Structure 1
Amino acid sequence: MGATGSIFILGLDGIEIAEARPEGLSLSQQPRHLPQFAPVNASEGLWRGVLPGSEGKQLARFQRVERAPFIVVVSRGIQEIHSSHGDSSLRVWGILGSLSLILTGAAWGLVRSTRRQQTLLEALRASDEEKHGLIMRLESEKSRAMTLASYDHLTGLHNRRMFNELVASHLEGARRSRKHYMLMYLDLDRFKLINDSLGHHVGDKLLHAVSERLRTSVRSADVVGRMGGDEFAVLVTGLEQPQDMDALASKLVAQLSLPYPDIDGHEIQVSPSAGIACFPRDGHDVTTLCRHADAAMYESKRMGRGRFTYYDASLNPAQDRAIQLERQLPKAIDNDELVLHFQPKVNLANYRISGMEALVRWQHPEFGLVYPNDFIAMAEESGLIVALGDWVMKACCAQQARWKAQGIPLVPLAFNVSPMQLRDGSLATKIMQLLHDHGLSPGDLELEITESCLVEPIGQAIKVLEDLRKLGIRIGLDDFGSGFSSLSQIRDLPISTIKIDRSFINGIRSKTDVGVIVTSIITLAHGLQMRVVAEGVELMDQLVQLKMAGCDEVQGYFLSRPVPSAEAQKLLIQATIIPS
């Protein structure tokens, strides 16, 4: 009951009977009347107020005892109650404060953890998005790379690698089929001439037009590819009879030979030469079929172009060699497989070397040294003669520059120029640039043209030759007498030298009329202020007769065969060649 508590026992009328305090129990000598605890209708309750004998307000609880005629009242000072509960309240508030701090810390930690997780999730999501974007880019790049690796960028057809893979796949199926498969190679005739004369952009547009026409002319089951340059290939699949190929090949040749009306403002007509190899008769694998179709294609070119030819296993080795040379000549020019040999011209007045003629050879990796007779004609037919001529010009200038740098006395170095090169109005500019680049003078070079340059329309050729003469470059007419030109035709041309064809020199000893013709040519040429060179001199008798006829210079095996640059250098240092 605490220090201020007390217990009262009252009668039912509210009269005090006894009182218990912390000091002990006492009976009331002077009973007090406490009516507030004797309500009429209540058996128990709470009361707040001042009790007799107590200090301050009390909080009392009273209850009527069942089956007994008295009421029990228990009281305690309100201040003491508050005091005891205050300590508890402080403890509670302390506990609540601690819990609040703990909860606040936990909540802050939870919020921080949540935010960190959210940040991590966002970073993870961003990383996933970045990875997804990277994967998409990689897939796109992979797809683009596959496209670039599989298709020709110019025509959109399969390139060589993809075409060969598709052919190999089809041949696997063909081995289990009774149907026939044909591989066709097509090459555009004289395409290089179109490229060189109209420009590469026109050539590219023509190739695109050819590819579109080729694509629409074959069946959907067939495979079409561009093998490089102006060469295409078609795998014809699932033919019922081998003879069915004739109709398809004829259709392709006819379609591709029709005019192309608007190629950058030009109407161009070009024909294909096609070669066909049959699986499995002509080969069991892609490499063999391609090689045989290629050989048949070049056979078509030799047989007149604008046609198709089936591979014939009886093609002789010489034909096979010619096929390989024609196919490999463009790479030979690009890869510097060509070399120059040099044959001296000797002045008959003093037997000093007065000039050199550069003669091109092909140092073939398989066939050894190939001579011009084996590849010049095919270069002219294929349009490569311009590229070949440009290579010779550059090689001559480079060789003269090397000799000059070594202190070797220079003589004019002559080289042949083709009719197609003379159609190039910038030829003089090109040569002048080469001379400038190599530190040479115009007198260090001499150009030789053939009579074929004078048979064709010569207006452009004469203009180019005039430009060259104005630069100080001497011009010679090679193989004079082998064609239809005469001195009267060439007297107004910018020519300073005439080379008498070897066919006259061969007969000068045995035929009197030939000797007379040679003497007349020399006399008339001198009258036109032209020097005369006799080529193909192989005997002392020929040399003597030419000297007696007044010939200025000679060249031929009797004095020196064409030699490599190292031996030509020795001849230049030697300076003279005395006949023996």
Structure 2
Amino acid sequence: MTSLYARRLCYLLLFRRPVSTMPLRMGWRGMRLACVGAALLVLGLVWWLAWQSVAAERAQLEISTRQQQASLAAVVAENLAQVVNKGQLMALAAGDTLASHARGQQTAAEVHRRLSTMLVAEQSFARYLLLDASLAPMDSSYALARGELAPLVAALRQALRAPVAGQAARLLPAAQASAPGSPDLWQIPLAYALRPTESGATSAAGGYLLLMLDLGYFLNLYRDVEMGAGSAIHLFDTQGGPLAELGAQGLTLPFSRSQAAPVTLMEGSRGAAVAALQPGAAPSQFSWRRSAQSPFIVVASRGQEWVDGPHREGSRKVWTLLGVLSVCMLLAVGGMLRVLRHQEGLFVALSVANRDKHALIDQLEREKTKALELAANDHLTGLHNRRMFNELVASHLALARRSRKFYALMYLDLDRFKAINDSLGHHVGDLLLQAVAGRLRQLLRRSDIIARMGGDEFAVLVTGMDAMADMDALAAKLIESLSQPYEGLEGHTLQVTPSMGVAFFPRDGHDVTLLCRNADAAMYASKRAGRGRFSYYDATASADSARGYALERELPRAVAEQQLVLHFQPKVRLNDCRIMGFEALVRWQHPEYGLIHPGEFIASAEATGAIRALGDWVLKACCRQVAAWRALGLDTVPIAFNVSPVQLRDGAFAERLAAHIADHGIAPSDLMMEITESCLIEPRALALSVLEQVRDMGVSIGLDDFGTGFSSLSQIKDLPIDTLKLDRSFVNDIRSSSEAGVIVTSVITLAHNLKMRVVAEGVELMDQLVYLKTAGCDEAQGYFLSRPVGAHAAEEMLRAAYLHPA
């Protein structure tokens, strides 16, 4: 904020009228007050947000603690209810056993054995005591002393007086918990009424089963549960009397069982509260659960100080950090106020000095205007330059969209202008450019926009034509006038012709960039057509050129990304139609244009140097295919691959070929290298050296397209060539020209005398095949026998071994 305000003040002081110091001082004072107010507002907002965050964190902590306690209490209550229900099952089994004993079906020993077995199965019950309906002892799992029975019977009578609805067992008063022969305070007696379930039994209680619930064993099951510091599990009876407690110190009895818990009697099956669970203790957060069939209340608690402790520590850190941040911010505001006061003095001084600088500012404005004019025009011809031309054309085209008139953008280039510069000097060339600019001004209207785009290239936007045909007369007039001699150029009379290209708006482009590019393409079309003429932009020719350029640009990536594939055309021996070899023909599986034949990209590959990588890919692909066929157990035949002159000029070509053969584990005789007559052009010695190395390696060599170049049989007799391939032009003329037949027969005879095999390519008719066989030709290939096919189809041909014409 300070930096922005300072920049605005500088602008006012340097580029506007002088201002008085009073408004400046008032502005700086307001800025200081705004800084202080903003700082206080930010501090207040930060403190308020921190307070909200701390409060939310505390509330979330209490909710999380309450949920954890509720879950723990629910688990313990559920498990305790299951234990009570298991005691009910034991009581039912005991009732059935007693009924059977009463009918004489079971002895007392069998009753004791069955109850003991059930007691061993449920480890939460320590002992049992079986009483009849008059509360007289019938059986026990331990030796019962006379003084121990009376308290238990009295406690049972007292428990039976108070009806309890829905509970499976009655909890005897806590004062008698330790009565049955043991000082162990953790064994709690539970009384179950015996009602046999057998058919014909009465529904009245036939006795009572006292089961000693071992709370020590039951609660120890939760000793390893992670409850958190200050947490505990409490067991109460339904009157709030404490029974046992499991905490961090282990299993304890926190206060006397005879003393009721100092909390309101917990009502409902579940709930949560904050209170002291024993007299004089600190408040705790606790949750309770009780089951309708269980005489227990399970409480999970955590001391309030343990709940609030981490929160207090985190809050203390937050408030400390905020205090430090507030102090730092106040110190920063103080420093900023000092800086603003210092800046105020500087700007006031600048306002006083501003009066002396207005004359200099006016001068700078005038020079700026002059510089803009120079930047918009070409310094040599006075015409618009490229930047200004683009801006003006863009504005005119915006208006042309609402007009019914026609607009055309014309590019003009002087033919062979470089020769004038090189022979007569650049100063004469500059005079010629000025003369051309002068004629353009005379020939064109004031509404037309003329510019020099650079060098000897000019551009013109012709505006407001009534019809596109008007451009024919204007272009012809410009060519005729600009082609007239230019006299008085430092004693020289020069005559040049212009090449022009025209693009119409909006047919050939909707913006300046596209129109300029298309007009430039049309101009180069005029140069290719013979110069000194004009051409209109042709979208079809441009599309072909764009496709060729795209293929040239994408070919290296196609080689790297394995977009190339090989097709194979068989060579058939004419004596018995046996397949003697394949010629590998590369194809480009383009993702946009589909399958592209090599005629579209081989020439550009040779021109750009990409032919090296392309040829290396073809060589490796041929080796890989031969190795694959050998792995299938096929009888392979040589695969011929074509080599360009660029590859033969590489002295390391033979070494790479040998390395590929060794890497794929094939024999040199599995390959055949085909060259054209252009490969033997200079440097001839290097090409011959490479051919000798290849032949010494064991790879056969064939001369492709024989008869279309400069070579004759007498010139190639000393070359390391094994096979001669007749060009398809001779084969095509066999039927229509007797001279062609004589030439073919002579070439075959002479080649055989030079120990060379002859292969005819381009065979498409049965008559051609018959003539070639009669003339003694060794092999043939062409569409009549088979088109180039993929690797799978070529594999099937290899399996058949013979290819008979259809």
Question: TM (normalized to structure 2)?
Answer: 0.37
Q: Matched residue of 1:346: which SS?
A: strand
Of the three residues 313, 338, 342, the one matched with 2:537 is 313
Give distance in 1, aligned partners of 2:804 and 2:705.
25
Q: Matched residue of 1:447: which SS?
A: strand
Flag the 1:178–1:465 CA change in 2: closer, same or farther, 3 A.
same
Equivalent pairs counted in the alignment come to 343
The CA deviation at 1:454 is 2.5
Flag the 1:358–1:334 CA change in 2: closer, same or farther, 3 A.
same
Give distance in 2, aligned partners of 1:557 and 1:337.
25
Give distance in 2, aligned partners of 1:474 and 1:328.
33
Of the three residues 736, 741, 747, the one matched with 1:515 is 741
Correspondence for 2:453 = 245
Contact 1:533 1:551 in 2 (8 A): yes
1:527 aligns with 2:753: yes
Contact 1:295 1:323 in 2 (8 A): no
Of the three residues 386, 389, 392, the one matched with 2:615 is 389
The CA deviation at 1:471 is 0.8
Give distance in 2, aligned partners of 1:243 and 1:490.
59
Give distance in 1, aligned partners of 2:506 and 2:736.
60
1:117-128 equivalent positions in 2, closer than 5 A? none
Give distance in 2, aligned partners of 1:419 and 1:536.
23
Flag the 1:177–1:536 CA change in 2: closer, same or farther, 3 A.
closer
AA in 2 matched with 1:491: K
Give distance in 2, aligned partners of 1:286 and 1:559.
55
Correspondence for 1:567 = 793
Contact 1:277 1:310 in 2 (8 A): no
The CA deviation at 1:481 is 1.1
Give distance in 2, aligned partners of 1:333 and 1:511.
44
AA in 2 matched with 1:367: Y
Stretches of structure 2 that go unaligned for 5 or more consecutive residues are 1-323, 329-385, 399-408, 412-447, 459-500
1:351 aligns with 2:577: yes
Correspondence for 1:326 = 549
The CA deviation at 1:174 is 7.9
Provide, for residues 146-203 of structure 1, a one-character-per-residue CA deviation record: whole Å limited to 9, x for no partner.
xxxxxxxxxxxxxxxxxxxxx99x9899856999xx9x9xxxxxxxxxxxxxxxxxxx
AA in 1 matched with 2:779: E
Contact 2:706 2:727 in 1 (8 A): yes
Contact 1:292 1:311 in 2 (8 A): no
The CA deviation at 1:311 is 10
Contact 2:526 2:535 in 1 (8 A): no
AA in 2 matched with 1:321: D
AA in 1 matched with 2:537: A
The CA deviation at 1:278 is 11
Of the three residues 656, 660, 671, the one matched with 1:445 is 671
Give distance in 2, aligned partners of 1:433 and 1:452.
26
Give distance in 2, aligned partners of 1:362 and 1:302.
30
AA in 2 matched with 1:328: L
Flag the 1:302–1:565 CA change in 2: closer, same or farther, 3 A.
farther
1:125-136 equivalent positions in 2, closer than 5 A? none
Give distance in 2, aligned partners of 1:412 and 1:541.
27
1:370 aligns with 2:593: no
Correspondence for 2:353 = none
Give distance in 2, aligned partners of 1:298 and 1:407.
58
Q: Matched residue of 1:495: which SS?
A: coil
Contact 2:654 2:693 in 1 (8 A): yes
Give distance in 1, aligned partners of 2:596 and 2:526.
23
Contact 2:577 2:803 in 1 (8 A): yes
Provide, for residues 520-550 of structure 1, a one-character-per-residue CA deviation record: whole Å limited to 9, x for no partner.
1111111111111011111222112211221
Of the three residues 424, 430, 434, the one matched with 2:660 is 434
Flag the 1:526–1:295 CA change in 2: closer, same or farther, 3 A.
same
AA in 2 matched with 1:325: G
Contact 1:415 1:447 in 2 (8 A): yes
The CA deviation at 1:494 is 0.7
Of the three residues 449, 453, 463, the one matched with 2:689 is 463
Return the index of the structure with the highest Cα Rg.
Answer: 1
Correspondence for 1:475 = 701
Give distance in 2, aligned partners of 1:328 and 1:496.
35
Flag the 1:330–1:282 CA change in 2: closer, same or farther, 3 A.
same
Provide, for residues 23-51 of structure 1, a one-character-per-residue CA deviation record: whole Å limited to 9, x for no partner.
xxxxxxxxxxxxxxxxxxxxxxxxxxxxx
Provide, for residues 207-247 of structure 1, a one-character-per-residue CA deviation record: whole Å limited to 9, x for no partner.
xxxxxxxxxxxxxxxxxxxxxxxxxxxxxxxxx95540153
Give distance in 1, aligned partners of 2:778 and 2:585.
21
The sequence identity of aligned pairs, in percent, is: 57
Provide, for residues 119-145 of structure 1, a one-character-per-residue CA deviation record: whole Å limited to 9, x for no partner.
xx9xxxxxxxxxxxxxxxxxxxxxxxx
Give distance in 1, aligned partners of 2:675 and 2:729.
18
The CA deviation at 1:501 is 0.9
Flag the 1:562–1:171 CA change in 2: closer, same or farther, 3 A.
same
Flag the 1:249–1:509 CA change in 2: closer, same or farther, 3 A.
same
Contact 1:480 1:499 in 2 (8 A): yes
Contact 1:344 1:355 in 2 (8 A): yes
Flag the 1:299–1:344 CA change in 2: closer, same or farther, 3 A.
farther
> RMSD across aligned C-alpha pairs, in angstroms?
4.4
The CA deviation at 1:435 is 1.4
Contact 1:346 1:577 in 2 (8 A): yes
Correspondence for 1:486 = 712
1:418 aligns with 2:650: no
Correspondence for 1:339 = 565
The CA deviation at 1:412 is 0.7
Contact 2:586 2:598 in 1 (8 A): yes
Of the three residues 391, 405, 408, the one matched with 2:634 is 408
Contact 2:521 2:537 in 1 (8 A): no
Provide, for residues 286-309 of structure 1, a one-character-per-residue CA deviation record: whole Å limited to 9, x for no partner.
9957985996799699789xx9x9
Flag the 1:349–1:420 CA change in 2: closer, same or farther, 3 A.
same
Give distance in 2, aligned partners of 1:472 and 1:441.
8
Give distance in 1, aligned partners of 2:796 and 2:725.
25
Flag the 1:178–1:506 CA change in 2: closer, same or farther, 3 A.
closer
Q: Matched residue of 1:245: which SS?
A: strand
Give distance in 2, aligned partners of 1:289 and 1:536.
46
Contact 1:332 1:338 in 2 (8 A): no
Stretches of structure 1 that go unaligned for 5 or more consecutive residues are 1-116, 122-166, 185-239, 251-274
Q: Matched residue of 2:759: which SS?
A: strand
Q: Matched residue of 2:572: which SS?
A: strand
Give distance in 2, aligned partners of 1:300 and 1:573.
57
Flag the 1:294–1:441 CA change in 2: closer, same or farther, 3 A.
farther
Give distance in 1, aligned partners of 2:536 and 2:605.
25
Give distance in 1, aligned partners of 2:502 and 2:663.
48
AA in 2 matched with 1:353: I
Give distance in 2, aligned partners of 1:327 and 1:301.
23
Q: Matched residue of 1:407: which SS?
A: coil
